């Protein structure tokens, strides 16, 4: 079973870039509604654990929706007065739309963050820039290495009797000493790594990556479909307009805009479609055997 | 940028981005879009600026020893971001910049944000944070001579870096929420972020003073010993 995020990282990145940029780009309530629902469903497929991962988003939505009418007093339709300041319907609706945009974009990005693990990030950067990718991969490795060595040094120091956790000042001093040893060790070791790299011919060829991501026909298809649907969505959106202040004036239902909404809608549920299709195929294959 | 094999195309891009692409993006968003979306504009420019810096570094011959040292400093900054409240990331970038050069400072800042955001959450704020910390490192590298000499200047740099970073991220907060930069909203954001601004400045100064001597000795020693 090959899920959407198991494809080539380039395809996954292009897809998430398209959908997130359109979501952030627009204040069109219809698109934001589509995006919000689709992104929440998409994220829910990754995040197990019922409602808990969504509590943050719900709280954020409520806070952001309330802030705008409290700060912004533009708009003609006054709902009520708070501390002699008018609270307007236009500002409230704008706040709700802006909050929906923020939460939807965050959902997309959180799903993207879950999909882009460190090895995929390295793969992407390795194509763009070998030097940066090398520093990135070494730094990621050093994070783990340093934690390991910290423990080793600490144990050695304890065995020497130089480390006392009972007294706060002593503990601080002990930590500082461990840190100092750790930095010296890692820096010295790094030089050896560099020598070794050069001796093995670093920089003489194209950089390879640890995990091989093959570029399949499916990945090309995902990239092409994402870009095509995003273009349809952007063109459709450019014909729709909405003015918030002083009174809400909308022009959201031009035929070309509706095609744009449909295009964006398909784009937004693309991972869900692919994952569902793969899941059905998986079930089918199991029942065959 | 080895993704573009042709040397001429690469060279053309290096001039096209700052002199063509960025102004074109600004002009396009100022005229073509009815509602001005400064957020997308600033995001695009932040990404292009980072790519430019990285392309410049890619071209330069840094040397593998220096690259490993940058990786070590970056890893330290990433680990430092896990310390609650007080973050040594600025201090470490400044140290890297002072001893290893401006490019090292930029890389240390930008990459430590990129890596630590794998744990803390990537988002549209990532390019801004990368650019923010990267620039803190870059300028520290350009000012390395006076900063190495005077402790007062170093403290001043830490304070200014903390305030500037916080104010830059406030611009981003307002743009994200409002789409354009509204004066009163910006003021609200600055005021509500004041505790963080103070925290940044204090931890910058604290860690700079704490790390200046021991870290400087270590980096200086490695530089002297191996001729980085």
Q: pLDDT tens, A189-230? A: 888 988 888 888 776 766 666 777 888 888 999 999 999 999
Q: Are residues A28 and A158 in the same domain?
A: no
Q: Does residue A131 carry a pLDDT above 90?
A: no
Structural contact between residues B110 and B79, judged by C-beta atoms closer than 8 angstroms? no
Q: Among residues A143, A167, A199, which one ends one of the domains?
A: A199
In terms of domains, do A162 and A84 share one? no
DSSP collapsed to 3 states, A80-136: EEECCEEEEHHHHHHHHHHHHHHHHHHHHHHHHHHHCCHHHHHHHHHHHCHHHHHHH
Beta bridge partners of A80: A87
A14, two tokens:
């292009």
A38 shares its domain with A94: yes
pLDDT of residue A170: 79
Is residue A128 domain-resident?
no
A229 occurs within a structural domain: yes
Tell me, rounded to whole angstroms, the distance of Cα B209 from its chain centroid: 21
Q: Answer yes or no: is pLDDT of B5 > 70.
A: no
Residue A204 domain-assigned (yes or no): no
Beta-carbon separation of B57 and A132 below 8 A: yes
Boundary residue ending a domain (A152, A173, A199)? A199
**CB-based contacts of A150, cutoff 8 Å, min separation 6:** A178, A182
User: With an 8 Å Cβ cutoff, are B1 and A128 in contact?
Assistant: yes
CA gap A24, B214 in Å, rounded: 45
> Of B96, B64, B68, B67, which Cα lies nearest the Cα of B80?
B96
Q: What is the dihedral of CA B15, B18, B20, B26, to 10 degrees?
A: 170
My answer on whether A92 and A173 are in the same domain is: no
- Do A54 and A174 belong together in one domain? no
B154-175 confidence digits (pLDDT tens): 999 999 999 999 988 888 888 7
Which pLDDT value is given to residue A289? 65
What stretches of B62-193 show up as alpha helix (H) in DSSP?
A: 64-80, 89-100, 102-120, 125-142, 144-149, 151-178, 183-192
pLDDT digits 0-9 by tens, B17-71: 777 777 777 776 666 555 556 767 777 788 888 877 877 777 777 778 888 899 9
Strand partners, A78: A88
Structural domain of A280: 4-120+215-288
How far A72 CA lies from chain B's nearest CA (Å)? 9
Distances (CA, A) of B199 to B76, B166, B195: 20, 10, 6
Contacts with A146 from chain B: Cβ below 8 Å: 75-76, 79
Q: What is the DSSP string of A221-248?
A: HHHHHHHHHHHHHHHHHHT-EEE-SSS-
At A204 the three-state DSSP class reads coil
The set of residues, in sequence order, having a beta carbon less than 8 Å from that of A145 and lying 6+ positions away, is A186, B75
3-class secondary-structure state, position A257 = helix
Residues of chain B positioned with their CB less than 8 A from the CB of A135: 67, 70-71, 74, 107, 111
More confident residue, B37 or A147: A147
Say if CB B101 and CB B138 are below 8 A apart: no
So what CATH class is B62-226?
mainly alpha
Q: How far apart are CA B74 and CA B114, in angstroms?
A: 10
User: pLDDT: is B32 or A24 the higher one?
Assistant: A24
pLDDT of residue A39: 92
Supply A135's token pair.
Answer: 């520093």
Q: Are the C-beta atoms of residues A97 and A32 closer than 8 Å to each other?
A: yes
Name the DSSP class of A211.
Answer: S
Residue A135: closest CA among B80, B74, B164, B87: B74
Residue B49 CB partners (closer than 8 Å, separation 6+): B131
C-beta of residue B128 within 8 angstroms of C-beta of residue B113: no
CA B57 – CA B36 distance, rounded (Å) = 33
- Check B65 against A194: CB less than 8 A apart: yes
In-domain check, residue A126: no
Examine the pLDDT at A137 and tell me if it is beyond 70: yes
Dihedral angle sign, alpha carbons of residues B138, A116, A25, A37: negative
Same domain, A230 and A96: yes
3-class state of residue A85 by DSSP: strand
pLDDT tens digit string along A250-271? 888 888 899 999 999 999 999 9
Report the number of distinct structural domains present in chain A.
2
Residue percentage of chain A with pLDDT more than 90: 22
| Residues B90-145 pLDDT 10s | 999 999 999 998 889 999 999 999 888 877 777 778 888 999 999 999 999 999 89
pLDDT value at position A264? 94
Q: Which residues fall within 8 angstroms of residue A92, CB to CB, at 6 or more apart? A: A65, A68, A69, A79
* A33 vs A131: CA distance, rounded Å: 42
Segment A157-184 mean pLDDT = 82
Q: Do A25 and B37 touch (CB under 8 A)?
A: yes
Give me the pLDDT at residue B1, please. Answer: 37
Could A102 and B75 be called an inter-chain contact, meaning their C-beta atoms sit closer than 8 Å? no
| Residues A12 and A58 occupy one common structural domain | yes
Residues of B in contact with A180 (CB under 8 A): 214, 218
- Give A281 to chain B, closest Cα distance, Å: 32
Average pLDDT, chain A: 85
pLDDT of residue A25: 76
Note whether residue A209 is domain-resident: no
CB contact under 8 A, A139 and B40: no
Q: What angle do CA A113, A279, A30 make, to 5 degrees?
A: 55
Q: Are residues A104 and A18 in the same domain?
A: yes
CA distance B18 to chain A (A): 19
Has residue B85 got a pLDDT over 70? yes
pLDDT at residue A207 in the model: 63
CB of A36 closer than 8 Å to CB of A263: no
Residues A109 and A243 grouped into a single domain: yes
Is the torsion defined by CA of A249, A253, A254, A257 positive or negative?
positive
**Are A246 and A181 in a shared domain?**
no
Check whether B2 has a pLDDT greater than 50: no
- Token duo for residue A264: 């964006």
H, E, C per residue of B99-122? HHCHHHHHHHHHHHHHHHHHHHCC
How far is the first Cα of chain A from the last one, in angstroms, to the nearest whole number?
15
pLDDT greater than 80 at residue A165: no
Q: Give the nearest partner residue to A184 out of B34, B67, B218, using CB atoms.
A: B218
The encoded tokens of residue B65 equal 């020893």
d(CA A5, CA A25): 24
* Whether residues A38 and A179 fall in one domain: no
Domain boundary among A174, A199, A224: A199
Check whether residue A159 and residue A227 sit in a common domain: no
Residue A239 sits at φ, ψ, to 5 deg, of -90, -10
Cis ω before A246 (30° cut-off from 0): yes
Q: Does some domain include residue A82?
A: yes
Give per-residue pLDDT as tens, A37-96: 999 988 887 777 677 778 888 998 998 888 888 887 888 888 888 888 888 888 889 889
Write down how long chain B is: 228
In a domain, A207, yes or no: no
Is A137 a domain residue? Answer: yes
* Closest chain A residue by Cα to residue B29: A25
């Amino acid at each position: 079973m090959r899920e959407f995020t198991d494809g080539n990282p380039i395809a996954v990145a292009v897809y998430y870039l398209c959908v997130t940029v359109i979501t952030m780009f627009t204040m069109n309530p219809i698109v934001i509604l589509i995006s919000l629902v689709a992104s929440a469903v998409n994220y829910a497929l990754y995040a197990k654990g019922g409602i808990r991962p969504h509590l943050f988003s719900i709280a954020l939505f409520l806070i952001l929706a309330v802030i705008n009418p409290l700060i912004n007093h533009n708009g003609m339709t006054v709902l009520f007065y708070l501390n002699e300041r008018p609270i307007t319907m236009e500002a409230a609706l704008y706040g709700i739309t802006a909050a929906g945009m923020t939460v939807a974009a965050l959902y997309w990005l959180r799903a993207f963050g879950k999909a882009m693990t460190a090895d995929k990030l390295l793969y992407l950067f390795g194509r763009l820039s070998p030097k940066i990718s090398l520093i990135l991969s070494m730094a990621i490795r050093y994070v783990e290495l340093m934690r390991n060595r910290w423990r080793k040094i600490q144990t050695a120091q304890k065995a020497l009797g130089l480390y006392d956790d009972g007294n706060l000042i002593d503990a601080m001093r002990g930590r500082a000493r461990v840190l100092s040893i750790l930095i010296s060790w890692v820096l010295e070791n790094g030089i050896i790594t560099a020598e070794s790299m050069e001796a093995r011919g670093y920089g003489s060829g194209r950089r390879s990556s640890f995990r091989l991501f093959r570029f399949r026909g499916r990945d090309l298809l995902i990239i092409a479909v994402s870009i095509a649907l995003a273009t349809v969505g952007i063109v459709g959106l450019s014909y729709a307009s909405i003015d918030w202040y002083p009174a809400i004036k909308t022009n959201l239902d031009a035929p070309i805009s509706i095609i744009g909404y449909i295009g964006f809608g398909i784009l937004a549920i693309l991972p869900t479609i692919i994952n569902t299709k793969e899941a059905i195929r998986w079930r089918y294959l199991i029942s065959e055997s | 940028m080895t993704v573009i094999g042709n040397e001429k195309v690469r060279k053309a891009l290096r001039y096209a981005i700052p002199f063509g692409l960025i102004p074109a993006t600004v002009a396009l968003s100022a005229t073509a879009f009815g509602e001005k979306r400064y957020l997308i504009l600033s995001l695009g420019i932040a990404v292009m600026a980072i790519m430019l810096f990285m392309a410049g570094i890619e071209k330069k011959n840094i040397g593998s020893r220096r690259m490993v040292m940058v990786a070590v400093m970056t890893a330290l900054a990433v680990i430092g971001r896990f310390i609650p409240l007080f973050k040594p990331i600025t201090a470490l970038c400044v140290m890297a910049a002072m001893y290893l050069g401006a490019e090292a400072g930029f890389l240390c800042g930008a990459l430590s944000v990129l890596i630590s955001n794998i744990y803390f959450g990537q988002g549209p704020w990532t390019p801004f944070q990368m650019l923010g910390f990267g620039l803190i490192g870059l300028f520290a590298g350009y000012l390395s001579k006076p900063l190495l000499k005077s402790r007062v200047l170093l403290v001043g740099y830490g304070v200014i870096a903390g305030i500037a970073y916080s104010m830059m991220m406030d611009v981003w907060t307002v743009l994200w929420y409002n789409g354009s930069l509204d004066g009163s909203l910006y003021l609200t954001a600055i005021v509500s972020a004041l505790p963080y601004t103070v925290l940044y400045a204090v931890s910058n100064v604290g860690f700079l003073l704490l790390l200046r001597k021991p870290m400087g000795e270590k980096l200086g020693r490695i530089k002297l010993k191996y001729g980085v």
